[in-house]
Chain A
Amino acid sequence: MQAIAINNLRKEYKDTVAVKGLDLEIEEGELFSLLGVNGAGKTTTIKMLATLTKPTSGNAFISGYSILKDKEKIKEIVDISMQETAVARNLTVDENVEFYGALSGQTKEEIEKTKQYLYNAFGLSAVRNKQAAKLSGGWQRKLSIALALVSKPKILFLDEPTLGLDVIARRELWKTIKELKKDMTIILTTHYMEEAEALSDRIGIMKDGKLLFIGKKEELFEKTGKNDVENAFIEIVGGGEQDE
């Protein structure tokens, strides 16, 4: 069953067209990675899908709900982890989870269960009583992503989740994302090619607001004649000019 169906989605700003008529379908339980250089339109795309930004034209359906007409329904089934770490800085880890849980309408008992699940998945127990502002960048990032799961979304948008993390923290987060994949559809944007290669069921490559490629990594390798995502990406985006 389709989790997301995008029909000719377009977003224009004053001086620029960020997304130019996107068409895409993503299946339930799939982990789909959107790759692209800065300004390719990845973040704008997931902001439109998460109902944070209104498209200029076109439509998209999230579990059958239109992003134009059914925003409230969509909010019940999606969540997003933004590119920037977004936590309540003066609240402890526990209080952050309680805050998000209460905001998504959970009871105290449900929030306790959510805490158990998240602390196991992200190893946050060790820092549960620390204020978010006093955590290291890596822990803050983990918390920020964990908070996107508090509402138990069916579809999760991760906008550059490992940006700024060291290699160890990044690999740990990959493990967590692989686990999450079992329970939900994930749409991930990233600049790290090895991340897309390690995690994705399918990859989409964007440039200047257009999708230049959609498919499995094997198809990407076949199309470009390369044997890793980074070189295949350069081949697609750079038209082969920047090859090795």
Chain B
Amino acid sequence: MNSSLYRILTLTKRNLKETIRDRLSLVFTILMPLLMEILFYLLFHGLTSQFEMKYLAPGIVVFSQSFVALFVGILIAVDRGTSFLKRLYVSKAKPYEFIFGYALSILPIILVQSILFFLIGVIFDGSIFGASMFLAILLSLFTSLFFIAMGLLIGSLCTEKSIGGASTVVIVGQSVLSGMWFPIEGLNGVIISIMNVLPFRNATLLLENVLNGINDSYKDFLLPFLIVLCYTVVSFVFAILAFRKKMNAD
């Protein structure tokens, strides 16, 4: 195996173990969203369309990804704070290998989240089961990259103490600006325009549309896909730059 790939996989394995052995991260990334999905469906599913499972399940999947940003960030900030990363800089690993190691370690968690939340959705509404659901699960790996990049960026810039506040911006952003918890039709046009150009609503729409059927391939798929892709690429570039800068400065 290529030595760089071997180092990336070694870092990935370590980061995955660190994350899944932290019970708090499992509570926030799996248990809490799961309970929210079940409770919100049972309490509100007849009231507004947001809480029908075909919208709630993809919404919860993306919402739970925003917590992933927090835990990626915490892992990096703790590694920096304890000098763990600093000593690893003496190894042969390159900055991009560290970044990939952090990013890849989160994807198995994302996959588990998506499969679990969609399957729970199927229990309450069997109509969402089908090829489109599996496509939505695959696509959730793509939407997660934006949140992972945000986690990398925040973790590179913040300390262990300040990371909670910074990550809240992403979590609140996903909650408020995705339109998953309330109907957006009554909102001010400017707010809707802002929501439409930010990644939060587009990531949610992407999964919703793929799950429920695409009528207009540009409007329903390509446009939200490209918007999320742009934010992801930009976030990754800034994350790598911030990580490299901190690598030399810590």
Task: List chain A positions with a Cβ less than 8 A from chain B.
Answer: 50-54, 72, 75-76, 78-91, 95, 99-100, 102-105, 131, 147-148, 151
Contact = CB atoms under 8 A, between A and B. Distances in A.
Interface in B68-117: 78, 82-84, 86-93
Interface in B51-77: none
A78 B90 contact: yes
A51 B90 contact: yes
Nearest to B21: A90
Contacts of B92: 72, 75-76, 103-105
A52 B83 contact: no
Contact of A50 (B11, B17, B82, B90): B90
A173 to B, nearest CB: 18
B6 A102 contact: yes
Interface in B1-18: 3, 6-7, 10-11, 13-14, 17-18
A95 B6 contact: no
A89 B18 contact: yes
A81 B90 CA distance: 10
Contact of A103 (B22, B84, B91): B91
A90 B22 contact: yes
A75 to B, nearest CB: 6
B248 interface: yes
23 contacts: A50-B90, A51-B90, A52-B89, A72-B92, A75-B91, A76-B92, A79-B87, A80-B87, A82-B86, A85-B82, A86-B82, A86-B83, A86-B84, A88-B84, A89-B82, A90-B21, A91-B17, A95-B14, A99-B13, A102-B7, A102-B10, A103-B93, A104-B92
A88 B75 CA distance: 11
Nearest to B78: A89
B86 A52 contact: yes
In terms of DSSP, what is the predominant structure of the interface of chain B? helix
Contacts of B13: 99
A221 B164 CA distance: 53
Nearest to B87: A86
Interface residues of B, number: 24
Interface in B126-185: none
Given A53-B248, A82-B83, A86-B84, 14 more contacts: A75-B91, A76-B92, A80-B87, A86-B82, A86-B86, A88-B14, A91-B17, A95-B17, A100-B91, A102-B7, A102-B10, A103-B10, A103-B11, A105-B3
Interface of B: 3, 6-7, 10-11, 13-14, 17-18, 21-22, 78, 82-84, 86-93, 248
A89 B83 CA distance: 12
Contacts of A52: 86, 89-90
Contact of B21 (A84, A103, A131, A147): A131
Contact of A75 (B7, B11, B90): B90
Contacts of B88: 103
Given A54-B248, A88-B14, A80 B7 contact: no
B88 to A, nearest CB: 7
Nearest to A82: B83
Contacts of A84: 82-83
A72 B90 CA distance: 9
Given A103-B7, A103-B11, A104-B92, A81 B18 contact: no
A139 to B, nearest CB: 16
Contacts of B82: 84-86, 89
A91 B18 contact: yes
Nearest to B250: A52
Contact of B91 (A87, A89, A104): A104
